[in-house]
Structure 1
Amino acid sequence: MLHFNFKSGKNKFLWEIKEYYPKEYQYGLWALKMLDNQFHLEFPEDEAGFIATHIISGELGNDISDFKKSAEFIKSVTKIVRFYFNINLDYNSLSYNRFVVHLKFFWKSMMYTKGHSRLENLSQEILNVIKNSDVEAYKCALKIKRFIKEKYNYDLSNEEVMYLAIHINKITEDERNKK
């Protein structure tokens, strides 16, 4: 059995890959297992992350640097939520995973629409119901809106803020119900 040791082979984004792109990471692990089974080559776990990075880049339609930017974006937004509510998020919960999926799609949309929302207008009545149902989730979504404007020069529409507020409400409700 051959073992490979890489001096600079540490994957700095391994945690983000595992958390934000678990399916792609599983494909990377599967590929490592196949290499081991077929050729008796054993690679470190970081290599599964590198394989996943290439899969993700293919899905995003861009190079690896876009993946890194999307991972940093997701990490920054989840950090805002964690600090705003002073909570630890359950990275294994369904609501958290839905939030991350929403952020991944949002990132793609944000990068390809060049600062213009593609969401259709919701009625003002619906927006007000969402806004008033959880004021703190809405305020946190506004904080994320400011962050995105400052960092990415992208103006979130009212609809995008509401979708964020809905997801924030769900993950914070899950955390409150655990206590």
Structure 2
Amino acid sequence: MIIRQIFNNNVIRAENQVGHEFVVIGNGLGFKKKNGQRVDVEKIEKTFVLKSDKIPQKLIDLIGETSVAYLKVADEIVGNAKQEMGDIFSDNIYISLIDHIQFAISRYRKSVGVKNSLLWQIKKFYKKEFMIGMGALDIIDAQFGIQMDEHEASFIAMHFVNARQDGQGMKQTVEITEIIDDIFNIVTDYYELELDETSCNYSRFITHLQYFAQRLLSNEQDQRASGDNFLYEQVKDKYAQAFQCTHLINQYLELKHESAMSIDEKVYLTIHIQRVTTRKDMASS
């Protein structure tokens, strides 16, 4: 492994024999070293392993002005997230997370708290990401002695939602979450019931809404439409109540988002609504 850039005495950018770049942390790794020299592997404490062969310039710039403590915390949080959900996050998670942690700690040291208006929705619709956020609070507390609340955990969770969706913007994540919440409320109000959050059908329903909302905002519905009128009529007749609920959701989308569901989307959503609201999947009230 060869040194390509020295950020400081303890953080360097290195490259292996096949040209894959890494950010490497270790006490004295960069001390009295020069670009092109071999890395002292015995001193390596942590290695940022990215999906891309080359480290994004934005991350390089950020590391150049970030203390080792923040890098280690971010790397541990991402490592825990990968253990929980797999290696499904884009490399942007390092950029957004390091930047966010620095800003959040600065705020807390100044006693400036920020509330997340989507806290309830994040906890409900992104359970795994929220638990990653809660675990991140323990890591931050252990490193910096700062105890943050669940609002901060939800902000961290949203960064992982972004990274799971190929680094989509935070604005789109907020919009997707709001759409999911609105559709969820239409279903529960229409059926006048609480859904069983422990059921498999509930998990499938929420996952469907997440991807549906993403397709809606990305204008990808028409690309997926098969126009299967026969299946549409079958579902409409067989699941009349669920189809009517889907109709209400379509009206909401037309009114608030100026977008209507394709035939395929109506079929898929109707089936999910039927499954999640059948009696065996209802929460006891």
Q: Which band: TM-score by shorter chain?
A: 0.7 to 0.9
2:201 to 65, 90, 95: 95
Corresponding residue number in structure 2 for 1:108:
214
Report the 3-state secondary structure (helix = DSSP H, G, I; strand = E; otherwise coil) of the residue aligned with 2:264: helix
**Does the 8 Å CA contact 2:243/2:270 hold for their aligned counterparts?**
yes
- Is there any run of 5+ residues in structure 1 with no aligned partner, and where? none
Alignment map for 1:73-152 (pairs within 5 Å) = 73-113=179-219, 116-121=221-226, 123-152=228-257
CA distance in 2, matches of 1:5, 1:23: 30
Where do 4+ consecutive residues of structure 1 move more than 4 Å?
3-7, 175-179
RMSD: 2.3
For the 8 Å contact 2:136–2:153, the answer to whether it is kept is yes
Segment of structure 1 superposing worse, 88-97 or 45-54: 88-97
Check conservation: 1:96, 1:171, Cα contact below 8 A.
yes
Identify which of structures 1 and 2 has the higher relative contact order when contacts are C-alpha pairs closer than 8 Å and 6+ apart. 1
Counterpart of 2:141 in 1: which secondary structure? helix
Structure 1 residue 41 and structure 2 residue 153: aligned?
no
Amino acid paired to 1:79:
N
* Deviation (angstroms), 1:175: 4.7
From 38, 49, 66, give the equivalent of 2:172. Answer: 66
Contact 1:74 / 1:104 at 8 angstroms: preserved in 2? yes
Distance 1:52 1:64 in 2: 11
Question: 2:129–2:157: 8 Å Cα contact kept in structure 1?
Answer: yes
Is the CA contact 1:36–1:42 (under 8 Å) kept in the aligned structure 2?
yes
Paired AA for residue 172 in structure 2:
D
**Structure 1 residue 159 corresponds to structure 2 residue 270:** no
Aligned to 2:119: 14
Shift of 1:147: 1.0
Which residue does 1:24 correspond to in 2?
129
8 Å Cα contact 1:4-1:42 kept in structure 2: no
Deviates more, 1:123-132 or 1:151-160: 123-132
C-alpha distance 6-54 of structure 1, shift in aligned 2 (>3 A): farther
**Residue aligned with 1:118, SS:** helix
- Unmatched runs of 5 consecutive residues or more in structure 2: 1-107
Q: How many residues align?
A: 176
Which has the larger Rg? Answer: 2
Deviations 1:16-62 (A, max 9, x none): 11111112112212211212233433222221111112222333433
d(CA) in 2 for partners of 1:152, 1:102: 18
In proportion to residue count, which structure has more helix? 1
Percent identity between the aligned chains? 28
Which residue type is aligned with residue 121 of structure 1? S
Q: 1:177 to 1:111 in 2, by over 3 A?
A: closer
Structure with the bigger percentage of strand? 2
